[in-house]
Amino acid sequence: MSRSKADWIVGVDIGGTNIKVGVVPFDGGTPLAVRVERTEVQRGAKFVVDRVVKMIQDAIEEVAKAEGAGTDAFAGIGIGSPGPLDRRTGTVISTPNLGWRNFPLRDLIRNAVGLPATLDNDANAATYGEWWQGAGRDVDTVVGVTLGTGIGGGIVLNGVLHHGASDAAGELGHMTIDSTGRKCNCGNYGCLEAYASGPAIAARAIEGLEAEVPSLLPELAGDPNSITAETVYDAVVQGDPYATEVLHDTAKFLGVGLANIINIINPDLLVISGGVTKAGDHLFEPLRAEIRKRAFRVAEQACKIVPSSLNGTAGIIGAVACFKKETYGSV
């Protein structure tokens, strides 16, 4: 399809914890009118969709007023959602952290807003965003890893976002790293997500405190059962030995999984995004050390490992890139 006269595309990034919406210039750039709200999955799918629609409408209204633009200035909506999903039908097939099954997300949003829409995996979108506008610019092969409520992944091979035979490529969080390990939300045992996602980090921290390990964590959280991954990062920065041990264990598990990916794909760049990156070198140094121990040297040396450079907007920007690619054939 040839480009319309539209100047803007809306990007939507739906996660298990937060929803992010922003308006991106057609040719790329910093998102405008960015909104972040809690997903509140427990309130049901209709609530989440209604919230997303309202956020989109408010963002469009804000940009339209600021730019003196009409609705025809907006080409459409790119949506990133946890999967597995079917891009062709716009359906979320199943997602452990949202509880949706065969859910027509794209069409519900498209019909409510009245603009064309596309749907892609949220981690695919974030990786594509990094390749288009972020840390992966001018890089041929990029693997993205998103660490949050779950663990997602995306793969750009020679500049092309790789979806796989059934749109399920890049589910790095469900790589088995311990065949008899912890149960994952997906029903499997020993998934990387069960060891290195935000909830997994918090759960392991709480388990250790039950053995009365001395730590700042209860004080920082106010209640041991209120500890989150962010609490762990805060304690690490303050020099807490137990929190540091928990984070280093996380880095070890993550390193096992990412060494596998480096050996299989041999990427130029591996981009890690999500709240866990706030820990900085407290995470990246032990992570890189574990990867050096496990990955083939020639592959490990060729791969840079970096945090996202898009300040939490990779999912928004990438959803827009996915919309452009699907609608116009290129970004």
Interval 197-249: pLDDT, tens:
999 999 999 998 887 889 999 999 998 889 999 999 999 999 999 999 999 99
Name the strand (E) or helix (H) holding 290.
Answer: helix 281-294
Do residues 171 and 122 make contact, with C-beta atoms less than 8 angstroms apart?
no
Please give the pLDDT value at position 311. 86
User: Is 266 a member of any domain?
Assistant: yes
- Is residue 320 scored above 90 in pLDDT? yes
Domain shared by 114 and 143, yes or no: no
CA distance 285 to 110: 44
User: Is 235 a member of any domain?
Assistant: yes
User: Is 3 a member of any domain?
Assistant: no
Total domains, the chain: 2
- pLDDT tens digits, one per residue of 61-87: 999 999 999 989 999 999 999 999 999
How buried is 72 (Cβ within 10 angstroms: 0-12 exposed, 13-18 middle, 19+ buried)? exposed
Confidence class of residue 97 from pLDDT cuts 50, 70 and 90?
A: confident
What the block records as the tokens of 203 is: 């759960």
Confidence class of residue 2 from pLDDT cuts 50, 70 and 90?
A: very low
Average pLDDT along the chain:
95
Could you identify the residue written with the tokens 């999955």? 41
Domain shared by 260 and 114, yes or no: no
Nearest to 14 by CA among 45, 50, 44, 52: 52
Confidence class of residue 4 from pLDDT cuts 50, 70 and 90?
A: low
Give me the mean pLDDT over the 82-105 stretch. 94
Give me the mean pLDDT over the 156-173 stretch. 95
Please give the pLDDT value at position 224. 85
Query: What's phi and psi for 141, nearest 5 deg?
Result: -125, 120
CA distance 194 to 153: 15
Domain shared by 283 and 146, yes or no: yes
CA distance 212 to 176: 31
Nearest to 115 by CA among 76, 89, 78, 62: 76
Please give the pLDDT value at position 223. 86
Residues near 46 by Cβ (< 8 Å), separated by ≥ 6? none
Domain shared by 68 and 212, yes or no: no
How buried is 319 (Cβ within 10 angstroms: 0-12 exposed, 13-18 middle, 19+ buried)? buried
Domain shared by 47 and 171, yes or no: no
Domain shared by 280 and 150, yes or no: yes
Domain shared by 49 and 178, yes or no: no
Domain shared by 73 and 172, yes or no: no
User: Is 254 a member of any domain?
Assistant: yes
HSE value, Cβ hemisphere, 13 Å, CA-based, for 18: 14
Does a cis peptide bond (omega within 30 degrees of 0) precede residue 84?
Answer: yes
The alpha carbon dihedral of 107, 112, 118, 121 has a sign of negative
CA distance 217 to 33: 35
Please give the pLDDT value at position 249. 96
Strand partners, 144: 154, 271
Domain shared by 150 and 291, yes or no: yes
The alpha carbon dihedral of 95, 109, 48, 103 has a sign of negative
User: Is 92 a member of any domain?
Assistant: yes
CA distance 88 to 82: 16
Domain shared by 145 and 294, yes or no: yes
User: Is 232 a member of any domain?
Assistant: yes
- pLDDT tens digits, one per residue of 256-299: 999 999 999 999 999 999 888 888 999 999 999 999 999 999 99
Please give the pLDDT value at position 225. 86
Domain shared by 287 and 188, yes or no: yes
Residues near 51 by Cβ (< 8 Å), separated by ≥ 6? 19, 37, 39, 40
CATH assignment of the domain containing 178 = 3.30.420.40
Structural domain span for residue 121: 8-130+312-328
User: Is 2 a member of any domain?
Assistant: no
pLDDT: is 88 or 311 the higher one? 88
> 39: how many CB neighbours lie within 10 A of its CB?
19
User: Is 242 a member of any domain?
Assistant: yes
Domain shared by 281 and 302, yes or no: yes
